[in-house]
Structure 1
Amino acid sequence: MGARAAGFLALLLLGCGPKPAPPAPVTDTNPSPERPRAVASREKPEEQNRLPPLTETDREKLQALEHAGVTVHGPGADGGCVVRVERTADLAPALATLKGLKCVTEVTFASDRLTDTDLACIAGFEHLRSFGLRDCGRVTGAGFGVLAQLPRLKWVSLVGPVTDEAGPHLGRIKTLETVVLYRTKFTDAGLKELAALPALGSVNVTATPVTGTAFAEPGWSRLREIDATQTAFNAAGLEAVSALPVLGTLTLDATAVTDSGLKHLARARALQELSLADTPVADTGVAALAGVQTLRVLNLERTGVTGAAFATFPVPAELRKLNLAETRFTDASGSHLARLPALTNLSLSGCDVTDAGLARLADLKKLANLDLTGTKAGDGAAEVAGTLAELEVVSFRGTQLTDAGLKAAAHGARLRFLYVRGSKVTKRGAVDAGKVVREGCRIVAE
């Protein structure tokens, strides 16, 4: 299996990709940031959020938008409509028609002709919950003042060259729960303007020039999730996020964070999920995470980690999901797996590990998903896998597994999928194993 495909399986370990059918050897979904609790009301939630019925004028306007090349969906169950102004839309009539159309709950602009001034067309959209820009190259954020006047706006997604000018305006949207700043020109100076937002639970700054120092600004009281993939995050940024009171999920993939910077995360009080894929971190940095008692999910894919760091983790460590795909994990660190008895998901895809190093898998009684794709695992590891009572999905793709090992693995009491493509298993061996496997389990050999 190529590195790209192996990486895809590893992504599924942490819930970072789509779920194929049949499912890949590991699966999970990152929790969405918690939303502020609604004020008590005698009305049912659907009654509170439902919009008034569309008027004849509304219907005429929606039709006119479609004639202008705008994509319109709805009305939905809540009575609201979703509008997307594509690059190919006839912009001037579309903007004119949008004015006063209060049935819109979600709007996205994807036109390189849009300007900050044009955003005035959504003034008065009192039911708008989601606002998005995608590669609107002429918009800097200077016209975002209109957003602060929208009483129900919860989600803002900006893709493209929006600048720090947007920061002060976004910082006035008290209902804002999620902000996506993908490939923008935001820096820490603009980002810190969001610190005081009382409902903000999730910030995504992927591929922006932020370092993370904005998170040292007082506030961020409800921030539970940060995705800073491909940013300039540094040690000062790590020190800042370590003090955030409820931060539970931190993604720093493809950043330059180092072992010395990771030591700051030892002080994190609520961190549950940490992703460091494609970073320079190694065992010294991972060892610093041993004191993070709340940590449950750790992604170290394509790092220099050997696994020696886990010798410093408390016994028993409480990690649930561990991704070591394409790391330097070898048999020498196999014994440390016994310190992680709470693991339910483990990926060693692409690691130089053999049956000898995998013997301690027997101690992982709660393991449900195991990915050994592209390793030197064989029949010995398969025999261990067959004894794991909770194991549901296991991959031996591209390994040394033979017909005998497949038969041993097939005895798993809860197995649902067993992947063996590219191994030494024969068609005959797959058929024979199918006779002993539990009912409903699928052996995927092709």
Structure 2
Amino acid sequence: MGGACSRKPERDSEDSPCRGLSRRFCKSGSLKWWTSSFAYPSVDFHLRKGDCPSLLELCIKKINEQFLFQQDIDRYNSFSMLPRDISQQIFNKLVCSQRLTSVSLEAFRDCALQDLDLGEYAGVNDSWMDVISSQGSSLLSVDLSGSDVTDFGLSYLKYCENLLSLNLNYCDQISDHGLECISGLSNLTSLSLRRNDSISAQGMSILSGLVNLVKLDLERCPGIHGGLVHIQGLTKLQSLNIKWCNCITDSDMKPLSELVCLESLEISCSKVTNFGISFLKGLQKLSLLNLEGCLVTAACLDSLADLPLLSNLNLNRCNITDDGCEKFSRLENLKVLNLGFNDITDACLAHLKAVLTKLESLNLDSCRIGDEGLINLAGHRQLKCLVLSDTEVGDTGLHHLSGLSGLEKINLSFTVVSDSGLRKLCGLTSLKSLNLDAHQITDAGLAALTSLTGLTDLDLFGARITDYGTNYLRKFKNLRSLEICGGGLTDAGVKNIRALSCLMCLNLSQNCNLTDKSLESISGLTRLISLNVSNSRITNSGLQHLRTLKNLRSLTLESCKVTAYDIKKLRSTHLPNLVSFRPE
């Protein structure tokens, strides 16, 4: 969000021009994903009073204290004499802080490292592969996603015969010839080749030898139609992702019937129809099925009823209507059901009332659901997540949800719910996440929510919250993510936010009256990972107040009087963990 004044729920897209930041996380705007998306392990440790650090922790901490500048790193010719645990931690720290270079990488030659997580790391190419392969039989996991490694570079991995996990997502220069280079890695249990235009159906024949594969990811590989026949012998396969492969048709489903251990199958946005789904009847262990955007109707439920363990079903953006929805009654073990963006009404919910007794998550985004339909959800006390965004639900309908004491997350964005309706949510004491993107929500609505002290995520994008209303935020001591965008906040209102010491994500964009004083007010929120104060009156002078936010990894100050040069200067001197910033 940040750059827009309003939002509309829409299908996620991974298309993005960003290179320095993983394409998995390039959604603009809401940055809640920063709280859990960083895979690089940190070696920092925090001791409770009376605890004593181990010698290993002390050693790693001391070594990393020496690496304040790049030239200090390059003084070390080799870490191979160190115990593997220590050299592994040093490697992780350098990657996390973006200080690993082709020069410093050489020091890790022959260190017997086990895990090399270089996904989306800048500069990785074939010249790095010699040192990577020098880890030999010790190497268990490699992530080269988004790199410039080619087929030739991949040939180095043939010396790493114990490799278990290999991620080559978004590696544009790897083709069928590259797959030949890894054909001998028969111990591989996980292989990911997302978004590769060069892999063909014929090239997939090489995968038939990887008999120990448990997880295979071919998302957005447009040339694999007809190639799935080569994986039908991978009887240990438990997870297969072929979503966003619009070349996939019904004929590709038949080979999958042989994958008897398959537990998770994602085939969204393909040309698969009800006929293709009929080939899945024999997958008795299948528990997750993603059919988003496929050409299926409610008639496919006849085939799905033969899957006894099916618990997670995504029918988002399919051709589901009320016609045939009574067949949902046969899916008695469903725990997660996504029916978003389908032409269903309250009549469909009536079929869910009595039979889906185990349902924990229900998505009805952009369906023709109104207040009367919600009465059918009143008995689902095990429901934890409910998405009603962009529906016709209003204040009256929320009365039917008041008894769902186990509800932890509810999305009411783009509904007609107003301040008075929010009072009916006061009894949902388990609620942790609440999305209220709606212009009709005001300070009064926020006041009605103050009993929900367990909230950790609160989205008030577009709500008419004023400085006075921010006084109520003091009640939400556990908030980790807060968005108040497009409102009428001034520096006075931001002063109340500084009491929320648990905040990790803060989005205050579109509040055009905020100045450098707001940055001073939040300078004590040292747990912040992402901060967005776009379209405000922030200047370069205000950046000094961010020096204390050592954990900050994303900073967005678009349409402010701030230059990329000054943000880079701040990062180099005070914010070493900052990965993404705008302007850039």
Instruction: Calculate the TM-score normalised by the size of structure 1.
Output: 0.74
Could you tell me which of 220, 225, 246 is aligned with 2:307? 220
CA pair 291-85 structure 1, distance change in 2 beyond 3 A: closer
> Does the CA-based 8 Å contact 2:287-2:312 persist in structure 1?
yes
- The separation in 2 between residues aligned to 1:242 and 1:3, in whole angstroms, is 41
CA pair 28-134 structure 1, distance change in 2 beyond 3 A: closer
> Residue 254 in 1 paired to residue 338 in 2?
no
- The separation in 2 between residues aligned to 1:95 and 1:445, in whole angstroms, is 45
> Does the CA-based 8 Å contact 1:379-1:404 persist in structure 2?
yes
How far off its partner does 1:209 sit? Answer: 0.6
Could you tell me which of 117, 125, 128 is aligned with 2:213? 128
The C-alpha deviation readout for 1:152-211, integer Å capped at 9, x for no partner, is 222223312322223332122111122111222211222132133122121111211111
- The separation in 2 between residues aligned to 1:246 and 1:379, in whole angstroms, is 47
> Does the CA-based 8 Å contact 1:153-1:175 persist in structure 2?
yes
Could you tell me which of 286, 289, 298 is aligned with 2:377? 289
> Residue 184 in 1 paired to residue 270 in 2?
yes
The C-alpha deviation readout for 1:118-171, integer Å capped at 9, x for no partner, is 755444431233445567777655x64443322222222331232222333212
> Residue 353 in 1 paired to residue 434 in 2?
no
> Does the CA-based 8 Å contact 1:225-1:249 persist in structure 2?
yes
What aligned pairs does 1:67-146 form with structure 2 within 5 A after superposition?
67=151, 75=160, 78-79=163-164, 102=186, 105=189, 106=191, 108=193, 110=196, 114-115=200-201, 120-131=205-216, 141=226, 144-146=228-230
How far off its partner does 1:284 sit? Answer: 2.6
> Residue 232 in 1 paired to residue 316 in 2?
no
CA pair 239-164 structure 1, distance change in 2 beyond 3 A: same
CA pair 98-279 structure 1, distance change in 2 beyond 3 A: same
What is the one-letter code of the residue matched to 1:154?
Q
The C-alpha deviation readout for 1:295-316, integer Å capped at 9, x for no partner, is 1111222222224211122436
> Residue 377 in 1 paired to residue 377 in 2?
no
SS where residue 156 of structure 1 aligns? strand
- The separation in 1 between residues aligned to 2:31 and 2:381, in whole angstroms, is 29
What is the one-letter code of the residue matched to 1:208?
C
Q: Tell me which residue corresponds to 1:205.
A: 291
The more displaced of 319-328 and 329-338 is: 329-338
> Does the CA-based 8 Å contact 1:302-1:326 persist in structure 2?
yes
> Residue 161 in 1 paired to residue 215 in 2?
no
CA pair 211-307 structure 1, distance change in 2 beyond 3 A: farther
CA RMSD of aligned residues (A): 4.2
Q: Percent identity?
A: 22
Q: Tell me which residue corresponds to 2:393.
A: 305
> Does the CA-based 8 Å contact 1:403-1:424 persist in structure 2?
no
> Does the CA-based 8 Å contact 1:224-1:249 persist in structure 2?
yes
The C-alpha deviation readout for 1:348-398, integer Å capped at 9, x for no partner, is 123421122332111212112111121112234312111223233322222
CA pair 431-169 structure 1, distance change in 2 beyond 3 A: closer
Could you tell me which of 405, 417, 425 is aligned with 1:317? 405
> Does the CA-based 8 Å contact 1:73-1:81 persist in structure 2?
no
- The separation in 2 between residues aligned to 1:428 and 1:66, in whole angstroms, is 47
> Does the CA-based 8 Å contact 1:299-1:322 persist in structure 2?
yes
What is the one-letter code of the residue matched to 1:354?
T
> Residue 363 in 1 paired to residue 447 in 2?
no
Q: Tell me which residue corresponds to 1:149.
A: 233
What is the one-letter code of the residue matched to 1:200?
L
Alignment gaps of 5+ in structure 1: 12-16, 31-45, 47-52, 55-64
> Does the CA-based 8 Å contact 2:432-2:455 persist in structure 1?
yes
What is the one-letter code of the residue matched to 2:246?
G
CA pair 397-222 structure 1, distance change in 2 beyond 3 A: same
SS where residue 253 of structure 2 aligns? helix
What is the one-letter code of the residue matched to 1:258?
T
What is the one-letter code of the residue matched to 1:306?
G
The more displaced of 425-434 and 2-11 is: 2-11
What is the one-letter code of the residue matched to 1:406?
V
CA pair 411-230 structure 1, distance change in 2 beyond 3 A: same
How far off its partner does 1:3 sit? Answer: 5.7
CA pair 282-85 structure 1, distance change in 2 beyond 3 A: closer
Q: Tell me which residue corresponds to 1:49.
A: none
> Residue 244 in 1 paired to residue 331 in 2?
yes
Paired residue total: 406
- The separation in 1 between residues aligned to 2:508 and 2:414, in whole angstroms, is 19
SS where residue 216 of structure 1 aligns? helix
SS where residue 370 of structure 1 aligns? strand
The C-alpha deviation readout for 1:41-90, integer Å capped at 9, x for no partner, is xxxxx9xxxxxx98xxxxxxxxxx96589899784864465678988777
> Does the CA-based 8 Å contact 1:384-1:409 persist in structure 2?
no
- The separation in 1 between residues aligned to 2:400 and 2:459, in whole angstroms, is 24
SS where residue 407 of structure 1 aligns? helix
- The separation in 1 between residues aligned to 2:480 and 2:172, in whole angstroms, is 46
How far off its partner does 1:325 sit? Answer: 1.8
Higher RCO (CA 8 Å, separation ≥ 6 residues): 1
What is the one-letter code of the residue matched to 2:437?
S
> Does the CA-based 8 Å contact 1:392-1:416 persist in structure 2?
yes
> Residue 335 in 1 paired to residue 335 in 2?
no
